Chains A and B, each alone.
Chain A
């Protein structure tokens, strides 16, 4: 080489600078800021410098503490004092201007309530479980009927029998059989037990119809009796009925109607209380953490197995349509996650209910996690299949032939030649599937979005997204993201280390 050292150094800088600068600015800097935010209680909105502040407070906390004259002038050039409101305020500022103002205001020791250093509190609250209850796996009791609502006209037969009727004493069963009658797969509310039907005769009474009794009084009566019924409180029941009748404007013929209505509403209350107390199911929710692990494991195992198996089949001698099939299996991979998600949503919401008769797919907590794994496998396994197929085709034919001459069975050839020689492909595919599954956002977001919490299908990355932008907890979100970063680094690091050791060199 004939270059002078100075030229060499200049070239080194010139060639590396563009990529390094952009990478540092848009990746490393935000990464550092992200870690910094993770030790604050920032909500993601509050600016570090106040937008407006009362005069006295502004002078005491900020202006009077600024030491340099230049800085004070700078602050005053941004904030203007408004006589009418008695406040200092500023317009929105960006870029270097903002950074300079933030530096000055930080130096005087001011920080807004929602942008304070909280040390490791975010991390601590994650480890101690002081986060949203839907974060960790949990068991919870699902209440199928809320005592404050009306009795539904129709209930799901399977759950009603299994989770409610079986828990009742014979006496309670008697009561239940007066209310719900089996019809086909569901139970139907007996017409006489419908609350509107029960109340109707009272509303039709001539005294109410003519306005002698106000509708407010009828509402009070009905509400009182219902409430008494829920608690089976005889005294309260007698009181609200008594108060209604005691208005003294009823004809003798109206009293039995009132009495009947009150009695029936009282028994409805009893049944409602029973229903809400007994018709409960204990359920398990995977939570964010549980689903993330489930999704990652499902993806790694199923997509790699499927991809390897398809590659093996396509690699067989005599498969004529190999290239066409390979192209087809790879095809879902070029589609965006959003398109894939919407294609499958369309199938789950429209086609499958129609041809199978099963109505709920993505909205069923028992199916949703599996369906998401299924769609993700459908989308990604073609990618891994291409890698396995390339690996298989790189295995030298003479080794296999030598094994065949030695009399190795196909199973032995697979076990002792193909698998070991394919180890590098396995390493790469498993590495990529772990990282992709843990980072998968678009697909789940487009398929289910925020309602994922209801069916237990919120991956870690989506929970972080909601923390940051919907729940206004940017500090917590970044602490979670930092933990995710550590997890991915450790898991993939261990996996690479373990699997690289097993790879054989030809």
Chain B
């Protein structure tokens, strides 16, 4: 069979060019990070003439990279874990109880989806300082509260599509509610759990305003912004810091992209 050029090949070629344009800013920043300042100024588009890592060394020390990444990682990990646990429990209970309380409570959670963060921002920062929560542990607690509405909403939708029979037969066999939830229901909720985990992990890892108000410094995004002001004219260290702060999430994305993209698509249909 001979290879024939079909319209779809033109389309594909065009899409590849478009994808390259999409990637270009990221590639450009990455290239610049490997060059000394003078080279960035003189030949912005050229490949680096030799491997130059001083920019990274500088950005690494100024951002206190290992410590900052660890803090951000722990906040994200515990934040997401807490949201998943509390929200799945609440959503399952709300979906499986058919009283007017459960309906009212569910509506109360759903109500938060349209509230912009700006209206709670001032009182929340006062409250956090009153409760001694202006530290990473406190930030995690705040994320549990702020992440609940979306997670409850999505879990609730999913639980309704899971058949009740398994739980009922386990109850007849004498299993307690805790056993039923953790051993039977939770494994069934895995697809939506993955989706919510991904959405919330991206949200918390990338969040800027709440950490700015509550802990002021220490997360990756905050370190990145502070760095920007300090090194506005030193392009090399600036671009290196951008690469460093984007790297963890990019690596995570490259390895988990199948789940992430599936999760996003699934979450949208449920939401």
Among B148, B181, B268, the residue within 8 A (CB) of A19 is B148
Shortest CB–CB separation between residue B53 and chain A, in angstroms?
19
Contact of B145 among A23, A383, A461 (CB under 8 A): A23
A343 surroundings in chain B (CB, below 8 A) = 25-26, 29, 242
A382 to B257, CA, bound (A): 13
Does A321 interact with chain B (Cβ within 8 Å)? Answer: yes
Q: How far is the CA of A311 from the CA of B209 in the complex (A)?
A: 32
A347 — which chain B residues lie within 8 A by C-beta?
Answer: 25, 28
| A346 B205 Cβ-Cβ under 8 A | no
Cα–Cα distance between A482 and B108 once the two chains are bound (Å): 18
Q: Which residues of A contact B1 (CB under 8 A)?
A: none
Known pairs A334-B260, A338-B221, A464-B118; A30 contacts B12 (CB<8 A): no
Q: Supply 6 A–B pairs (Cβ within 8 Å), ascending by A.
A: A22-B86, A29-B123, A35-B119, A318-B8, A383-B264, A386-B265
> Which residues of chain B from 130 to 177 have any CB-CB distance to chain A below 8 Å in the complex?
130-132, 141-142, 144-146, 148-149, 152, 168, 171-172, 174, 177
Q: From residue A44, how far is it (CB to closest CB) to chain B in Å?
A: 6
Are B208 and A338 in touch, CB under 8 angstroms? yes
A484 touches B119 (CB 8 A): yes
**Residues of chain B within 8 A of A474, CB atoms compared:** 122
Contacts of A326 in B (CB 8 A): 261
CB atoms of A20 and B105 under 8 A apart: yes
Binds B, one of A186-194, A283-291, A350-358, A395-403: A350-358
Complex CA distance for A1 and B207, rounded to whole angstroms: 44
Report which of B85, B92, B261 forms a contact with A330, defined as CB distance below 8 A: B261
Distance in angstroms from B245 CB to nearest chain A CB is 6
- Interface pair B93/A325, CB less than 8 Å apart: no
Of the stretches A120-128, A145-153, A202-210, A439-447, the one at the interface is A439-447
18 more A-B contacts (CB under 8 A) besides A336-B207, A355-B45, A382-B22? A12-B93, A19-B86, A23-B109, A27-B149, A31-B119, A33-B127, A95-B130, A313-B14, A325-B16, A326-B261, A328-B22, A334-B202, A335-B206, A336-B249, A428-B271, A441-B117, A477-B122, A492-B114
Instruction: Tell me the count of chain B residues lying within 8 A, CB to CB, of chain A.
Output: 96
The residue that B11 contacts in the complex, of A20, A319, A441, with Cβ under 8 A, is A319
CA distance A18 to B92 in the complex (A): 13
| B19 partner, pick from A98, A328, A481, beta carbons under 8 A | A328
B residues touching A (Cβ–Cβ < 8 Å)? 6, 8-9, 11-12, 14-16, 18-19, 22-23, 25-26, 28-29, 32, 40, 44-45, 85-87, 89-90, 92-94, 97, 101-102, 105, 108-109, 112, 114-124, 126-127, 129-132, 141-142, 144-146, 148-149, 152, 168, 171-172, 174, 177, 181, 202, 205-209, 220-221, 224-225, 228, 235, 238-239, 242, 245-246, 249-250, 252-253, 257, 260-261, 264-266, 268-269, 271
- Contact residues, A10-52 vs B (CB, 8 A): 11-12, 15-16, 18-20, 22-31, 33-35, 37, 44
Question: In the complex, how many residues of chain A place their beta carbon closer than 8 angstroms to a beta carbon of chain B?
Answer: 94
User: What mask results when residues 301 to 342 of chain A are scored 1 for a CB within 8 Å of chain B, else 0?
Assistant: 000000000100110111111000111111110111111001
Quick one: given A313-B15, A331-B253, are A342 and B242 in contact (CB under 8 Å)?
A: yes
Q: Does A344 contact B (CB under 8 A)?
A: yes
Q: Are B15 and A325 in contact (CB under 8 A)?
A: yes
Q: Are A29 and B127 in contact (CB under 8 A)?
A: yes
Partner of B119, one of A12, A34, A318, A446: A34
Output the least CB separation between B270 and chain A (Å).
10
Closest CB in chain A relative to B181 CB, distance in Å: 7
Is there an interface contact between B116 and A446, defined as CB atoms closer than 8 Å?
A: no
- Report chain A residues within 8 Å CB of B261: 326-327, 330, 386
| Known contacts A18-B90, A27-B120, A390 near B265 by CB under 8 Å | yes
Can you list, as one digit per residue, whether each of A423-443 has a CB less than 8 Å from chain B (1) or not (0)? 011001100100100110110
- Is the C-beta of A140 less than 8 angstroms from some C-beta in chain B? no
Bound-state Cα–Cα, A492 to B205, Å: 27
- Rounded to whole Å, the gap between the CB of A327 and the closest CB of chain B is 5
Give Cα distance in the complex from A382 to B119, angstroms: 29
CA distance A105 to B238 in the complex (A): 51
- Contacting B120 at CB < 8 Å: which of A30, A334, A350, A435? A30
In the assembled complex, how far is the CB of residue A218 from the closest CB belonging to chain B, in whole angstroms? 40
Residues of A within 8 A of B101 (CB): 12
Q: Is the CB of A37 within 8 A of B122?
A: yes
Least CB distance from A145 to B in Å reads 29
